């Protein structure tokens, strides 16, 4: 299935250095790990790949370094059905890097070096403004400069393009950005940063969603790990349950959810059906290691959902 509606993703690209440890190191401690790998990642890139593999008509606005890994990533994006005309190498910069520890219970912690991602300037956004204007939806995250994210969201809103913000990683955000957003998709930590509400249960999720609605955001989707997502549309909320799987690591699970969710919305699915589709995509991703290597293709998501229905 593919959509005639167009998606543009604006965001980061990182080379992920991933190491699995029994537990996260304490200050001053050195630990030996296993399964070291360098995988293609970055929240923007992971979401673009998730959209491309799940069938979206997708373009990506991003920056890589002037290095071999950046070039190889662009080649991989093309294989993942992403239009890369707005993915550019930046002279004298290296591609972004993420250093990731995964522990024995599949949690991760991440340190980032922005590299070329820091060069995604407002001028760069303006150079690609037509790509935004000619799309139906713009998907954003927070690993590139905030002023450029706001610039892109303004261009989108002025042209009637839907703005979807995955507010990751967690930080406080100016009202100037929030009022441009149609759909927001925080996890529990990000929802806490934006609303001050600690989310233990569905009641807390509903409270956090109400605060985000009060800022003018129509659709709030709070991702809650294996429990699923709290979907709230203009104040009417419900839990869309997740699927039980054996998690290997959760890197890019949220990104996979976002890319698949927006793809399904652009195909005309309801938010409820899109959330179920995206929960399935994210469930597959956590059974595999790494960022982009774990992102499923459309056929895999459909097969997973069919198998659930047959249960």
Catalytic residues: 255
Sites of contact with ligand RIB (CB under 6 A): 14, 16, 41-43, 46, 98, 110, 143, 251-252, 254-255, 291
Cβ pair 178, 215 in contact under 8 A: yes
Considering the complex, what minimum distance in angstroms separates the CB of residue 250 from ligand RIB?
A: 9
Structure tokens at 194: 């934006």
Q: Indicate the residue among 46 and 88 with the shorter CB distance to ligand RIB.
A: 46
Cβ pair 44, 12 in contact under 8 A: yes
Cβ pair 155, 134 in contact under 8 A: no
Bridge partner list, 230:
222, 239
Residue 239's φ and ψ, nearest 5 degrees, are -85, 130
Considering the complex, what minimum distance in angstroms separates the CB of residue 162 from ligand RIB?
A: 22
Q: What is the dihedral of CA 57, 58, 59, 64, to 10 degrees?
A: -140
Cβ pair 214, 199 in contact under 8 A: no
Q: Indicate the residue among 3 and 185 with the shorter CB distance to ligand RIB.
A: 185
Considering the complex, what minimum distance in angstroms separates the CB of residue 214 from ligand RIB?
A: 28
C-alpha 58/C-alpha 51 separation (Å) is 7
Q: Indicate the residue among 204 and 255 with the shorter CB distance to ligand RIB.
A: 255
Considering the complex, what minimum distance in angstroms separates the CB of residue 292 from ligand RIB?
A: 8
Q: Indicate the residue among 14 and 84 with the shorter CB distance to ligand RIB.
A: 14
Considering the complex, what minimum distance in angstroms separates the CB of residue 185 from ligand RIB?
A: 12
C-alpha 10/C-alpha 127 separation (Å) is 13
Q: Indicate the residue among 237 and 259 with the shorter CB distance to ligand RIB.
A: 259
Bridge partner list, 38:
17
């Amino acid at each position: 299935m593919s959509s005639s509606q167009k998606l543009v993703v604006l965001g980061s690209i990182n080379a992920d250095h991933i190491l699995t440890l029994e537990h996260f190191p304490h200050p001053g401690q050195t630990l030996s790990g296993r399964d070291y790998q360098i995988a293609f990642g970055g929240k923007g890139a992971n979401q673009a790949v998730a959209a491309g593999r799940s069938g979206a008509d997708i373009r990506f606005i991003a920056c890589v370094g002037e290095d071999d890994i950046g070039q190889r990533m662009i080649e991989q994006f093309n294989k993942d059905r992403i239009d890369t005309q707005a993915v550019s190498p930046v002279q004298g910069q290296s591609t972004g890097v993420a250093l990731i520890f995964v522990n024995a219970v599949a949690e991760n912690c991440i340190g980032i070096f922005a590299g070329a991602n820091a060069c995604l300037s407002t001028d760069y956004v303006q150079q690609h403004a037509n790509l935004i204007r000619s799309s139906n939806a713009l998907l954003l995250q927070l690993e590139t400069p905030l002023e450029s994210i706001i610039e892109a969201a303004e261009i989108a809103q002025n042209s009637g393009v839907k703005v979807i913000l995955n507010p990751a990683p967690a930080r406080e955000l100016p009202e100037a950005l929030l009022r441009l957003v149609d759909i927001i998709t925080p996890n529990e930590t990000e929802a806490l940063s934006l609303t001050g509400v600690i989310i233990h249960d569905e009641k807390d999720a509903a409270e956090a969603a109400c605060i985000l609605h009060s800022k003018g955001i129509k659709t709030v989707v709070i991702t809650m790990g294996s429990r699923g997502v709290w979907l709230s549309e203009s104040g009417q909320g419900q839990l869309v349950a997740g699927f039980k799987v054996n998690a290997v690591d959760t890197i890019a699970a949220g990104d996979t959810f976002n890319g698949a969710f927006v793809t399904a919305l652009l195909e005309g699915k309801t938010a409820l059906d899109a959330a179920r589709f995206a929960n399935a995509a994210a469930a597959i991703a956590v059974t595999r290691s790494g960022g982009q290597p774990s992102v499923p293709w459309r056929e895999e998501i459909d097969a997973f959902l069919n198998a659930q229905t047959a249960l």
